[in-house]
Structure 1
């Protein structure tokens, strides 16, 4: 029986990843540079493994990194204005609450970032436990975040299911031995995922939560 469902945040609950990419591309376009998209895509779901501002600073040394950050932040906020959680997310949260299933969030982002957006979206009250980069030594693709969730609820990996949108996030779930359902977004749908993911959805509207949990339960029995 699935006792806990675990959500990633960026790109899964709220598509910040696509908005971030669009903001960086617009910023780079302003300065007639090509954004290093491959490096950025490889870092999705983990901590940034490269500095996206460095090419700009190298090309325009008279402009400080802080100024570039301010410009990018303004563009990002413009893209975010009026946006909502991804399709089907709130339905899943409501169903889980109705079924008495615990809900956790495990993110490589900081707690301040997560709390800000969960409050802004009006969904923070759904979560029974939130685990962020502030709480572990290693973020995704390492399994620390997901192992901490298991420890908090004192359950084994087969009593949970993870919802992820990125290869780094899904690999963290797999390394924690938790079944992973991937729901890629506009930015991550073309990336290569580990073949061990349990199920792939284009949207949480594809299947109801009850259907997904039944599928995972049956799959667990066959392992």
Structure 2
């Protein structure tokens, strides 16, 4: 039987609740700066999360929700510019410390690091967004704790395709049976499980009704002493995920 070698972390919604009060606000700030009257409220943004990737989300919004918007001639450049502005505003929000890590995340990362476990980031968000979140929560230089940062457009097919996980595993020279993934959404689980990686899910307000078929354990959060998780599907345990509990899920 394989031994657990690495923890693979999604970012948005998994490490921190960045979607509602981070990315959504940054998109709206970018739209306002561009002179657009678009406003993505919480309900609409929940629907837009069906699509992964910021540029892809803008396109989906125009295809499905704002079909009368006159598209500029260089539409690709228009979308790219909006997304670059959104990333700038997002990193600004992160630098101001607006978004904390979810309960138990920091403790688990520190525990894994102390135990010598390898770690990687596997996400559809941009590398700049990853750096901004890690710097503002774990401290400057913490990005180096993660052996691989698989982010953004590093593979053409984003989650729910398994490509980003397959890429990260190749870079780390690991088999899928030597790692465990942490995700928060149905698209994320389809990606990680599709790559053959056992997966723990911590849901959030946007993803709680997703289909998590194939996940080994579904919780409302990683949890910590005094702030236990609630089990949605899978085993029980002590109420929070320390490294021992993660290894038990991996071996189960």
Provide TM-score, normalisation by structure 2. Answer: 0.69
Residue 215 (structure 2) pairs with residue 197 (structure 1): yes
Q: Tell me the residue number matched to 2:13.
A: 11
CA drift of 1:39 comes to 3.2
Out of 51-60 and 162-171, give the one that drifted further. Answer: 51-60
Which residue number corresponds to residue 56 of structure 2? 48
CA 1:33/1:150 → structure 2, altered by over 3 Å: closer, same or farther? closer
Quick one: distance in 1 between partners of 2:161 and 2:20?
Answer: 23
Query: Which ranges of structure 1 fall in alignment gaps of 5 or more residues?
Result: none
Q: Given that residues 45 and 141 in structure 1 are in contact (C-alpha distance below 8 angstroms), is that contact kept between their aligned partners in structure 2? A: no
Aligned residues: 214
1:99 corresponds, among 115, 120, 124, to 115
Q: Specify the SS of the correspondent of 2:98.
A: coil
Asked if 1:167 is matched to 2:154, the reply is: no
Counterpart CA distance in 1 for 2:27 and 2:128 is: 22
> 1:116 offset after TM fit, Å?
2.7
Distance 1:194 1:140 in 2: 14
SS of 2:56 mapped into structure 1? coil
What residue is the counterpart of 1:147 in the other structure?
A: 166
Bigger relative contact order (CA 8 A; separation at least 6): 1
Residue aligning to 2:244: 210
Contact kept? 2:13, 2:184, Cα under 8 Å: yes
Q: Distance in 2 between matches of 1:166 and 1:179?
A: 14
**Separation in structure 1 between the aligned mates of residue 173 and residue 86 of structure 2, nearest angstrom:** 44
Higher helix share: 1
Match of 1:39 among 47, 54, 59: 47
Q: Tell me the TM-score normalized by structure 1.
A: 0.77
| RMSD value, Cα | 3.6
SS in 2 for 1:85: coil
Conserved? CA contact 1:46–1:140, under 8 Å? no
**What is the rounded CA distance, in whole Å, between the counterparts of 1:177 and 1:120 in structure 2?**
32
Summarize the alignment of residues 97-136 of structure 1 with structure 2, pairs less than 5 Å apart.
97-121=113-137, 122=139, 123-136=142-155
1:14-29 aligned at under 5 Å gives the runs: 14-19=16-21, 20-21=23-24
**Are residues 180 and 82 of structure 1, via their aligned partners in 2, closer, same or farther at CA, if it must alter by over 3 Å?**
same
Contact 2:46 2:206 (8 Å CA) reproduced: no
User: Gaps spanning 5+ residues in structure 2: where?
Assistant: 72-77, 224-239
Following TM superposition, by how much is the alpha carbon of 1:199 offset from its aligned partner in structure 2, in angstroms? Answer: 0.5
